[in-house]
Amino acid sequence: MDASKLALPVGTTLDRFIMRKQEDFPYATGELSQLLRDIALAAKIVNREINRSGLIDIAGAYGNQNVQGEEQQKLDVVANIRFIRALRNGGEACTIISEEDDEAIDTGNVQGKYIVAIDPLDGSSNIDVNVSIGTIFSVYRRVSPTGQPGTAADCLQPGTHQVAAGYVIYGSSTMLVYTTGNGVNGFTYEPSLGEFFLSHPDIQTPRTGTIYSINEGSSNSFSPGVAAFVRHCQDAQFSARYIGSLVADFHRNLLKGGIYLYPATAKNPAGKLRLMYECNPLAFIVEQAGGRSSNGYARTLELEPAACHQRCPFFIGSPELVALAERFLAQETVPAGV
């Protein structure tokens, strides 16, 4: 008997993959590799907290509102602390933009070369009912000199300047998906070994699909173009799939093909999702996987940010479906400020 069959390879770990790919980075000195490891470490800790949230008192509302006016869940606060602590201790990020903090966070790492924008726990309203939730992150190289705190110019860069972006989905299995501008790769967490292993190499999203994801509870305030596109999807007998966790909806459509829409509505005329730490990172990922993302009129990655918590309408997914949605919207007058 071949002895090697008694101990088959377990696969490529995230750490090993990052080291092998380090030469792909524009500044291959190890800092970005370390930063990605810091994010992965925090994701493992958050995964542990989520898995035991029903057994200890960290589920439910925290009692405060974040800068978005949304009620914070206890796990929102826990995840925020975990990621900030990991990034601060790692030393590579000089500034962090978090959904849970009003202002950009100075980490004290004045030699750090990177800015991290992060939604520590996306879909937190689904925590108490065991629905998939996630983390979304984006990494920019600072434009100001090192040796001093990060500046507003460092924080407010367009999505085209991202050097890395990714997300973690905490679901039936926990996955970390990321890009550094050289394709998209997914890693599944193996809890008994405490490691992420490469499970989805070189992810490519289908050119089209038959899934549309939108909160149809807001249909009375859809613009005519959005309403017409949704009717088109219904007439074509597409499947409506909407979880209410952006990461979960995006992840499904990335793999299976489809489109996710969060348009401007009467309640949220500027859109609801945040450009810096929700839209830009997912737009970077989907484009690297062959997909498309826009605000309905312009490429997401080319939008100029004016504030850390800026919102924007969001259309993302298979390129043919996003292009079709844009054609429906092109028949409208472009809203002011979009």
65: pLDDT strictly greater than 80: no
Would the annotation count 261 as a binding residue? yes
- Cα torsion 90, 95, 98, 101 to 10°: value is 110
Would the annotation count 189 as a binding residue? no
Q: How many CA atoms lie within 13 A of 130 on its CB side?
A: 6
Confidence band, pLDDT 50/70/90 cuts, at residue 128: confident
Would the annotation count 70 as a binding residue? no
Confidence band, pLDDT 50/70/90 cuts, at residue 10: confident
CB within 8 Å of 305: residues ≥ 6 apart:
156, 157, 158, 275, 276
Confidence band, pLDDT 50/70/90 cuts, at residue 22: confident
Would the annotation count 275 as a binding residue? no
Would the annotation count 219 as a binding residue? no
**231-240 residue pLDDT tens:** 999 999 999 9
Q: All domains of the chain, ordered by start, with CATH?
A: 14-200 (3.30.540.10), 211-330 (3.40.190.80)
Would the annotation count 101 as a binding residue? no
Would the annotation count 123 as a binding residue? yes
Would the annotation count 62 as a binding residue? no
- Listed in order, strand segments (DSSP E) in the chain are 61-65, 71-73, 93-98, 105-106, 114-122, 133-141, 162-170, 174-179, 184-190, 195-200, 211-213, 239-240, 259-262, 292-294, 314-317
Which one, of 268, 212, 267, lies nearest residue 242 by Cα? Answer: 212
Work out the percent of the chain whose per-residue pLDDT is above 70: 88
**How large is the average pLDDT for residues 210-232?**
95
Pick the more confident residue, 160 or 18: 160
**83-101 residue pLDDT tens:** 999 999 999 999 999 999 9
**How large is the average pLDDT for residues 266-293?**
96
Would the annotation count 124 as a binding residue? yes
Would the annotation count 262 as a binding residue? yes
Confidence band, pLDDT 50/70/90 cuts, at residue 144: very high
DSSP labels, 6-36: GS-----BHHHHHHHHGGGSTT-SSHHHHHH
**How large is the average pLDDT for residues 266-286?**
96
Pick the more confident residue, 235 or 1: 235
Work out the percent of the chain whose per-residue pLDDT is above 90: 78
Amino acid sitting at position 174? T
Would the annotation count 256 as a binding residue? no
Would the annotation count 114 as a binding residue? no
Distance, in Å, from the CA atom of 208 to the CA atom of 187, rounded to the nearest integer, reads 24
14: pLDDT strictly greater than 90: yes
- For the chain, give the mean pLDDT: 90
204: pLDDT strictly greater than 50: yes
Which one, of 254, 251, 245, lies nearest residue 129 by Cα? Answer: 245
- Tell me which residue has tokens 């890009």: 179
Would the annotation count 122 as a binding residue? yes
Would the annotation count 296 as a binding residue? no
337: pLDDT strictly greater than 50: no
Which one, of 81, 75, 68, lies nearest residue 50 by Cα? Answer: 75
Angle between helices 74-90 and 31-51 (to 10 degrees): 150
